[in-house]
Chain A
């Protein structure tokens, strides 16, 4: 959409000028400064008429009261999480009058069904449940396991016995556990490492003379 087309399409007239400015010759426009062509108000807070809103009706006031009491109740409930208060430095006179900011009730007392929450959050609701370590579910179509099977077959011949299967399973589980540790490091150690393979720091370059007189000019 070409908004510029609209202004340019009107032809030779001066668009956007203020009404008092007739066809002023171009040379004299410099005296006006930017007040000639641009009619935009540049005040930070331009004058505006602000309408007064209607007074609140009784219904609106009561809705407001309901909303306010709800928010206050929520603030003192277990659901409003606050950062821990800063440690007290010195004892002050007003401390004895300070509103009791007792420790808000913890989330354990809210009644809720743990089936509504994922496993990792169960420990918050029910402190007896330990944090479940992330289960490593063993995927049947695990490509790694197939690879292990292939390598085992290659090494031990085509003996597809039960012993091999058991070994593979143990190896798979073991390697699965170790995999997590190695994952981070393996990302760093890579065959395609540009830095090691290609990057030339430029230390060994000879410094050429600026005067390259050998160029041929045709």
Chain B
């Protein structure tokens, strides 16, 4: 079975139960179906299928489209694989929301992910029911909610969200085509397609402001940190009745920025990471779209003005020259030097922005992404195949297409080894052969065989491998829990859940072992998901 649907099934089974999993399986394998189609394939009663569809639409993994078929209006349901795969990240999202915005924010995200969609009114209701001293807490929760909404971590839900995106696109295209008299030409059709795409994207972007009432206040107080001085603080109030849901893209963007800063810290030093963080905050990268290849341009002076004071004394930079006046380097000097380091590092973190004038730089996300993907790929090759095979692959990546003899010379390996290792890489789909025939009849003895590595293809295959690994890990967790079903049922008994000592020593040890195993498996699934983020989402 192909890897993505299999992983989707595991996730849906774990989160929503066996019934929803069956419906999801049918939709994943058969594509779009009507309600009666699903009933026919799953052999389940109609009401059950309806409930499963409601659950899936509520959690934004299923989409519907109402189409006209002859005399009838039928409703097709389709499933969004990408949305299901994003659910792997839920633990990470809840944890980091707490880290960035406080404990209340993590509760808010938890509730929102639990219900699929949430209103501020429901949140206040929950706080009243479940928290001590609700009156004060409500204020805090409301404030955090507005903060999350204004930073676009949660967005309002519109009825169009549940409609399949491709249907919206086709409708918009049909409407645009109808406006053109005499039917559109091919070129006009292509233009319409591009325009409609842009229109839909703009709608998505502007959507983020829906559901909020805006108050703009200029905040010139001294206690506001310097970085905010450049931006008006926009205070948003959230309306009570609008449904909100989590915006995965924004979280992914923050994860990407964190990963970029971590890379800078690894490659250069901690000071470089800090400077890069300030750079990103300054250039407002935390609010733009994730598809952008570059951040907004900033200059060294801007960053220097927000440099924290401890960096001046302990900047992490070493000045070897005897300075005449024995004064400490200024903030601008430190920042400029770090910018040079960042610019010249192999990852090419920042580069000069030519159009904005002298001394303006942009963070080059595209290069960083390529660097991260390549680094991960090298690591995987080394751990999987050993040093020499990794060496061969790196030679091929850097030099392009080479013959076997040249590879052997460069890799400093005996001929037999290079042949075996090249064949090994070939069977794993990492390298390929290009034949260049010397004669008209393509006799193998008279053709040149060139080995090469196509990085894009490798990355795609690696992504599929990652999906397969995550699915295997999840399946293993499921099986481990299933083999210990009786033990787990014993744990759930009322008398045992109150008093753990009723279990025998063997049982307790078995539970401990199970917990350790599951923890290790889950952690490895989390790390695999990090890698998926690098390859797919950054």
Contacts and interface: CB of A to CB of B under 8 A. Distances in A.
* Chain B binds chain A: yes
A70 B90 contact: yes
A15 B98 CA distance: 60
A11 B446 CA distance: 11
B293 interface: no
A59 B117 CA distance: 27
A40 B310 CA distance: 61
Most buried by A among B14, B48, B54, B523: B54
A40 B445 CA distance: 26
Interface string B18-30: 1110000000000
Given A98-B494, A123-B50, A9 B444 contact: yes
B266 interface: no
A107 B92 CA distance: 28
Contact of A66 (B48, B95, B519): B95
Interface in B371-404: 383
A87 interface: no
A115 B58 CA distance: 12
Contacts of A3: 426, 433
A181 B70 CA distance: 15
A175 to B, nearest CB: 10
A213 B19 CA distance: 71
A67 B90 contact: yes
Nearest to A106: B51
Contacts of B435: 1-2, 5
Interface string A1-45: 111011011010000000100000000000000000000000000
Given A64-B523, A99-B492, A117-B162, A107 B54 contact: yes
A2 B447 CA distance: 12
B416 A19 contact: yes
Contacts of B426: 3
Interface in B137-185: 157, 159, 161-162
| Interface of chain B, main secondary structure | helix
Interface residues of A, number: 63
Contacts of B90: 66-67, 70
Contact of B122 (A1, A69, A111): A111
Given A83-B18, A124-B54, A134-B74, A66 B110 contact: yes
Interface residues of B, number: 71
Contacts of A98: 493-494
A51 B379 CA distance: 13
Interface string B416-435: 10000000001000001101
B72 interface: yes
Interface in A120-142: 120-121, 123-125, 134-139, 142
Interface in B1-56: 14-20, 35, 47-48, 50-55
Contacts of B243: 112-113, 116
B184 to A, nearest CB: 21
B522 A120 contact: no
B216 interface: no
A139 B94 contact: no
B523 A115 contact: no
A70 B98 CA distance: 14
A178 to B, nearest CB: 12
Nearest to A142: B71
A29 B435 CA distance: 32
Contact of B494 (A65, A68, A99): A99
B75 A119 contact: yes
B387 to A, nearest CB: 14
Nearest to A73: B114
B520 A56 contact: yes
Contact of B16 (A65, A74, A113, A142): A74
Contact of A120 (B51, B75, B92, B94): B75
A71 B15 contact: yes
Contacts of A73: 110, 114
A5 B426 CA distance: 14
Contacts of A120: 35, 50, 75
B134 interface: no
A87 B345 CA distance: 68
B55 A64 contact: no
A153 interface: no
Interface of B: 14-20, 35, 47-48, 50-55, 57-59, 64, 66, 68, 70-75, 90-92, 94-95, 98, 106, 110, 113-117, 119, 122, 157, 159, 161-162, 243, 383, 416, 426, 432-433, 435, 444-445, 447, 449, 492-497, 519-520, 522-524, 526-527
28 contacts: A3-B426, A6-B449, A19-B416, A53-B527, A61-B519, A62-B95, A63-B526, A67-B92, A67-B94, A68-B91, A70-B91, A71-B14, A73-B114, A75-B17, A79-B55, A81-B16, A81-B17, A83-B18, A83-B19, A97-B494, A99-B492, A112-B243, A116-B57, A121-B53, A123-B50, A134-B73, A136-B72, A176-B71
Interface of A: 1-3, 5-6, 8-9, 11, 19, 51, 53, 56, 59-71, 73-75, 77, 79-83, 94, 97-100, 107, 110-113, 115-121, 123-125, 134-139, 142, 176, 179
Closest 6 CB pairs of A and B: A67-B91, A9-B444, A81-B19, A99-B492, A66-B94, A5-B444
Given A63-B94, A117-B54, A121-B54, 16 more contacts: A1-B432, A5-B444, A61-B519, A64-B91, A64-B526, A66-B106, A70-B91, A81-B20, A107-B51, A111-B119, A112-B117, A113-B243, A116-B243, A118-B66, A119-B75, A124-B50
